[in-house]
Structure 1
Amino acid sequence: MTDVSKASFTIEHESNDTKGRYVVELNGGKAEMTYSKAGDSMIIIDSTEVPDVMRGQKVGFALVAKAVEDVRLSGKKIMPLCPFAKAQFARHSEWHDVLL
């Protein structure tokens, strides 16, 4: 399992009835991964955006990893529609238990 608690930045999570996002503010930029809720059992990762100022710091990876961590705890599943998130799932077979 990936431990995002060792990251050198803080990941904030915001959520409402239909949508949510994970956000990192670092070096004057803001990265975010957004998702939509599909019922009570699944989230759909819509988009992951990381500004150039954060490139190379694994911020995008950390955003997806945090979503995986949270989804595991809640017993939900993830459908990654975002190309970046899809690529991360392809690289990390240890996350396949949460894939829909």
Structure 2
Amino acid sequence: MNLIFEEDDESIVMKNEAGEKLGEIAFSGDGDYFTVFHTGVNPDYRGQHLGDKLVLQTIEKAKREQRKIIPTCPFARKYFLEHPEYQEFVQGDLN
């Protein structure tokens, strides 16, 4: 499945080739960081690691914009706890 990511200042939406929304990650903030407060995946597509792909797209956004991420969303927070290799993109301590 080819994934399409549409990004703006408040979210990244993931769609399939048919334009069906598969999931989204939402954030807010400006300056040196942004806060991720929601990650959601269409129930029909869960179990395919699409939430992970959304977090990775957010990390790419942080890299491009030279910003840090505050993961208040439980899914994003768990992702960063399980993937310490991305800790450099997290603002503050996860513990």
Report the TM-score, using the length of structure 2 for normalisation: 0.84
Pair 1:41 & 2:17 matched: no
Preserved contact between residue 46 and residue 81 of structure 1 (Cα < 8 Å):
yes
* CA distance in 2 between partners of 1:43 and 1:10 (Å): 22
Q: Structure with the greater relative contact order (CA < 8 A, sep ≥ 6): 1 or 2?
A: 1
Structure 2 counterparts to residues 1-100 of structure 1, below 5 A? 8-15=2-9, 20-26=10-16, 28-37=20-29, 39-100=30-91
Report the TM-score, using the length of structure 1 for normalisation: 0.80
Which ranges of 4 or more aligned residues in structure 1 deviate by more than 6 Å? none
RMSD across aligned positions (CA):
1.7
Preserved contact between residue 29 and residue 54 of structure 1 (Cα < 8 Å):
no
Preserved contact between residue 41 and residue 51 of structure 2 (Cα < 8 Å):
yes
* CA distance in 2 between partners of 1:94 and 1:43 (Å): 19
Q: Any gaps of 5 or more consecutive residues in structure 2?
A: none
Aligned residues: 89
Deviations 1:13-53, CA, capped at 9 Å, x for gaps = 022xxxx101012374431100011x311000010011111
Q: CA deviation at 1:73?
A: 2.0
* CA distance in 2 between partners of 1:34 and 1:74 (Å): 16
Q: Percent identity, aligned pairs only?
A: 26
